[in-house]
A and B are shown apart, each in its own frame.
Chain A
Amino acid sequence: MTDKDETAIAQVRVQLPYHLRNLAKIDGEVSLAVPGPVTVRAVLDALESRYPMLAGTIRDHGTLQRRPFLRFFACAEDISLVSPDNPLPDAVVQGREPLLIIGAIAGG
């Protein structure tokens, strides 16, 4: 999928932190069918739809803002602070690279 066929369904790979894998009873990566355009928001919508127990754990229920101690990485880039409506890199859209959701190493 490229910018030229934004409405196609992409198979996006997502890696979740340990506690969220346990919560959703997931081993390893998740592969999600995401309708385009493929953005962080679209991926999280698809993730929460398939695993409703994750709703509220990555982004706040009320504001839909990313939780402060979670970060999003794609293709070795930290995309946590860019708009969740920005298109994800082609490598993620095409399934060559996963979207990483990482818990901050915090707490001392």
Chain B
Amino acid sequence: MSSVRVLVGTRKGAFILSSDGKRKDWQVSGPHFAGWEIYHMKGSPVDPNRIYVSQTSGWFGQLIQRSDDGGKTWQQPGLQPGEGMPAFPNKAPNRFLYDTSAETGAPLTTHQWYDGTQHPWEFKRVWHIEPSLVEANTVYAGVEDAALFRSTDGGESWQELSGLRGHGTGPNWQPGAGGMGLHTIILDPTNPDRIYIAISAAGAFRTDNGGKSWKPINKGLVSNFMPDPNAEVGHCVHHVAMHPSKPDTLFMQKHWDVMRTDDAGDNWREVSGNLPTDFGFVIDVHAHQPETIYVVPIKSDSEHFPIDGKLQVYRSRSGGNEWEALTKGLPQSNCYVDVLRDAMAVDRLDDCGIYFGTTGGHVFVSPNGGDTWEPIVNDLPAVLSVEVQTLP
């Protein structure tokens, strides 16, 4: 019988929630890396027992952890106690250095700061980890300040794909309220050279040559807080999702507006429809129904919690525009939590399971595509990210 393993990153550690395919009884493992911020953890599609973790701290900086046994044990890739290393090593699993070489055509520039001045690029943390679809040792990392890194040795060392940051619009990118993070990485399952990424607040970008060069894909996005609401870059994209069977169709939760594209990002159109508010962070797609999508409406960018204290997931079975509220099992009074951008995931069981975590420490599961919900846990630290692995 199939089972699921839910990987939960929180403000104070990582947790692993496991269940059989019924998704009724759960075992909770953790906290792993207690006291550290776990921005994201994700398993390799090639080797599900390989899990990559972004572990970070305002005091101690960035670490990368890896498990090769499904989360039972962890190591910083390539490092063992007692093995001497030079003070300035050639490689290290937590060394994310921006590419400054002229040879790659992407010398380090500056980006726009909150006050409109230019500001140097400074590495702060890894927001999102995306393991390769075909190779367990290859993994991508989206970082703050926004850039994309890749490792081809299981996380032992990282190299920037500097064509993204250096393609020309970088000086116009600016941090959102949470920082200038590259938070979304989507690998096209049908085209290994195509990758989508998204940055707050720069927008969405696509490469069609494996990361050498990139183009902004923001046509159709409208951000009224910008001097030019239709600008090529500067949009505060919160999250993007894709169904693997329709890789040219993307769904986006923007700062305001829910959007979709059917031409790989060349043109976007709004599909907020009858949502009570189209502000929010998460968006995801049903595992078997590529036109069934989910969002969690948040009241506004000034009040980051559900309307009237009622936590509601909204589902559209038509790829947007027509939405229905899903409330059964979710708190419908006095609930003032947020659901952050990487905190929703779907499993691939026959009856698709939907999962999301809140800043109040809940992780909810719906084992039936959103019809009903149950809490798996209620009192974790604030949840930063949720991923799920469907295991044979």
A contacts, CB < 8 Å to B: 17-20, 23-25, 41, 44-45, 48-53, 55-58, 60-62, 64, 67, 69-70, 103-104, 106-107
Contact = CB atoms under 8 A, between A and B. Distances in A.
Contact of A69 (B58, B84, B86, B96): B58
Interface in B85-122: 85-89, 92, 94-97
Given A19-B57, A24-B81, A51-B81, A57 B63 contact: yes
Contact of B36 (A19, A49, A51, A53): A19
A61 B63 contact: no
Contact of B59 (A25, A48, A69): A69
A61 B59 contact: no
Contact of B83 (A25, A52, A70, A104): A52
B92 A55 contact: yes
Name which of B61, B86, B92 has the most chain A CB atoms within 10 A of its CB. B61
Contacts of A60: 61
A25 B84 contact: no
A55 B94 contact: yes
Contacts of A41: 87
A45 B87 CA distance: 5
Given A50-B82, A52-B79, A55-B85, A61 B60 contact: no
A24 B75 CA distance: 11
Nearest to A60: B61
Nearest to A61: B95
Given A19-B36, A69-B58, A61 B80 contact: no
Main secondary structure, interface of B, reads loop
A29 B81 CA distance: 16
Nearest to A55: B92
Contacts of B84: 49-50, 52
A64 B88 contact: yes
Contacts of B76: 53
Given A49-B86, A107-B58, 9 more contacts: A19-B57, A23-B63, A25-B81, A48-B87, A50-B81, A50-B84, A57-B61, A58-B60, A67-B60
Interface string B35-67: 110000000000000000000011111110000
23 contacts: A17-B59, A19-B36, A20-B60, A44-B87, A48-B87, A49-B84, A53-B76, A53-B81, A55-B89, A55-B92, A55-B95, A56-B92, A56-B95, A57-B60, A57-B61, A57-B63, A60-B61, A61-B94, A62-B95, A64-B88, A67-B59, A67-B61, A69-B59
A56 B94 CA distance: 7
Contacts of B59: 17, 19, 67, 69-70, 103-104, 106
Nearest to B76: A53
A23 B123 CA distance: 21
Contacts of B79: 52-53
A60 to B, nearest CB: 7
A56 B58 CA distance: 13
Contacts of B62: 56
A60 B123 CA distance: 10
Contacts of A56: 61-63, 92, 94-95
Contacts of A23: 60, 63
Contacts of B123: 62
B120 to A, nearest CB: 12
Contacts of A57: 60-61, 63, 94
A17 B58 CA distance: 14
The 9 closest A-B pairs by CB, nearest first: A57-B60, A61-B95, A45-B87, A69-B59, A49-B84, A52-B85, A52-B79, A56-B94, A103-B59
A57 to B, nearest CB: 4
A61 B87 contact: no
Nearest to B84: A49
B87 A64 contact: yes
B80 A52 contact: yes
Contacts of A48: 85, 87
A69 B59 CA distance: 5
B326 to A, nearest CB: 36
A107 B58 CA distance: 9
A98 to B, nearest CB: 19
